Structure 1
Amino acid sequence: MSLCEAEKTFILHGVEENFRNDGRERSQYRPMELETNIVAHAFGSARLRLANTDVLVAVKIEVDVPTIDQPSEGKIEFFVDCSANATPDFEGRGGEDLAMEIMNSLTNAYKSTKAFNLSKLCILKGRKCWKLMVDILLLECGGNLYDAVSLAVKAALWHTEIPRVLSVNLDGNNVELEVSEKIHDCIKLDVTSAPIMVTISKIGEHCVVDPSSAEEQCATAAVVVAISQNRFTTILQTGSGSLHPNTLIESLTLGSQIASQLDTALIEVLQQKSGEKPIGFLL
């Protein structure tokens, strides 16, 4: 739903006074709720609600052949589906461009070996490896999709378990794998350094994090940063406007600080014992 000029002015003045229309300050996030292991047939899954933004992630695994230039590494691929029920803008093929942007951003963010070590997915160098297929479904769009998606992806990968390979037999060009049939005989992924995305939007003369859908309409420009262990793995600028160099530096600094806080909070939640009820956490 588009805003009128009076509504945009109200939001802009609120940001100017460091009091947004939902009561937050410029550097505060909306409430989050996280559920894990909710898709029965997935190797790992998570659902994250960031206010009225709702994201579901499921991880599937299959055996594949490593690429020629990376024979000692496995693979990870991202697929994004924008549900038509999430927002009227996704009806027809309206969500394809956004889905492609999110897919490309995640691919670039996870490309660095320091962000996600794909060598742990190698079974036999140059012959066999595990491929992770991360399916992302956008159930509801209430602003700040990049951040919600990255948090849900990291939570799903945290709970992903890879079957243990007991033996590898070579028969000419054929490779036969013996995989443990025990349910709990699995290997967990190390996703401690997996990147977190943070969106910083410029509204008026100030930068805000976690923009709502209404605030996104008021932003002149935005920058999405992916941070892994205090390192930038990708930077994406969105919106039709541009950022002054000083504003860009301010945005990158704020993004790095917020990503560190988000990552710490998420890891603490994931390390807790999983229960029947969803886990909620605030920044």
Structure 2
Amino acid sequence: MQEEFGITTKMAEDFRTARPKEYYRKFLEQEVRPDGRELGETRTTVINVGCLSTANGSALVKMGNTTVMCGIKAECAKPKTEEPAHGFIVPNVELSPMCSPQFRPGMPGEQARVLSQFMLEVMKNSNCIDVKKLCIEPGRLVWTLYCDIVCLDYGGNVTDACVLSLLAALNNTVLPNVVLNKDTDKFEAFPDQSTTLQLQSSPVSSTFAIFDDEILFVDPTAEEENLATGQLTIVTTDDKLCMVHKPGGTPLTDQQLCLCIKQAFERTKEVLRLIDDTISSVESTYW
């Protein structure tokens, strides 16, 4: 592509560093990006489930240069008095200096906190898990699912990678059978009688970046995020629109929004097929 514009690799890199917006504009005018992707094309996505033996469920997701790992730990807890039969889902996203120098050590930054809240809203709005089915004994004991999502390499669009890693890890989660012994009035766990966590829906997020207030492209890299004038994240299941999240920036027309929603549904189908293939591959390995 660089040769088509009549410039050498060295000249292109200098131009990219000195005038990044103009550099991207040259490509986007041809409806292609510097990495060779079309505007509606996502990066190659790879999923690995069951990668943490110490967790009840886990998954590693790689989208281009962005790598995220999710581990789910199930612990017993006392339910809320007003919701005696409801379990808990507690997502937590970690963005440390290990994944990018833009993050600082210490307390979670604003982006990590916003992402953690976003993960919780995704779970609620999609009705992914029926929290009533996390109940062991009403009013006495329920499951709490601690979902720790850690970004290992930040290459842009960490939101979609986090949602995907959480979904894949939930599909891999097993819970031991816990019952109340009426003779001793104590709860007993039977790990050899574990059951797979049942999901009611499978939410997938698709993030779009807006360039020059009008050009839309999906799955932005870190560099593209820095140049964007706005972002939009759409969460869908295979048949339901769950969330539309747009934190400010350039407004979109109804036509642009409809196009993004259509592409989000198409992306959801691709991701769900990928998860199914990954889980089937793991299961065939064990059997």
Give the TM-score normalised by the residue count of structure 2: 0.84
Residue 196 of structure 1 corresponds to: 204
Rounded to whole Å, the distance in 1 between the matches of 2:191 and 2:266 is 44
Aligned partners of 1:167 and 1:179 also within 8 Å:
no
Residue 281 of structure 1 corresponds to: none
Aligned partners of 1:224 and 1:238 also within 8 Å:
no
Aligned partners of 1:32 and 1:49 also within 8 Å:
yes
Question: Cα distance, 1:274 vs. partner?
Answer: 5.3
The answer to whether 1:227 aligns with 2:249 is no
The answer to whether 1:179 aligns with 2:153 is no
Flag the 1:229–1:31 CA change in 2: closer, same or farther, 3 A. closer
Deviation track 1:144-189 (CA, whole Å, cap 9, x = no partner) reads 1011111111111111110012445387xxx62121142xx21101
Residue 252 of structure 1 corresponds to: 261
Question: What does 1:1-150 correspond to in 2, within 5 Å?
Answer: 4=17, 6-92=19-105, 96-112=109-125, 114-150=127-163
Greater shift, 258-267 or 155-164, is seen at 258-267
Q: What SS does the aligned partner of 2:36 have?
A: coil
Rounded to whole Å, the distance in 1 between the matches of 2:245 and 2:260 is 12
Flag the 1:254–1:33 CA change in 2: closer, same or farther, 3 A. closer
Rounded to whole Å, the distance in 2 between the matches of 1:170 and 1:23 is 67
Question: Cα distance, 1:49 vs. partner?
Answer: 1.4
Where structure 1 has 5 or more consecutive residues not aligned to the other structure, the ranges are: 277-283
Question: Cα distance, 1:94 vs. partner?
Answer: 8.6
Rounded to whole Å, the distance in 1 between the matches of 2:57 and 2:118 is 21
Rounded to whole Å, the distance in 1 between the matches of 2:95 and 2:228 is 22
Count, aligned residues: 269
RMSD: 2.4
Residue 280 of structure 1 corresponds to: none
Rounded to whole Å, the distance in 2 between the matches of 1:7 and 1:91 is 25
Where structure 2 has 5 or more consecutive residues not aligned to the other structure, the ranges are: 1-15
Question: Cα distance, 1:4 vs. partner?
Answer: 4.6
Aligned partners of 1:46 and 1:57 also within 8 Å:
yes
Q: What SS does the aligned partner of 1:193 have?
A: coil
Higher relative contact order (CA 8 A, sep 6+): 1
The answer to whether 1:268 aligns with 2:265 is no
Aligned partners of 1:116 and 1:194 also within 8 Å:
no
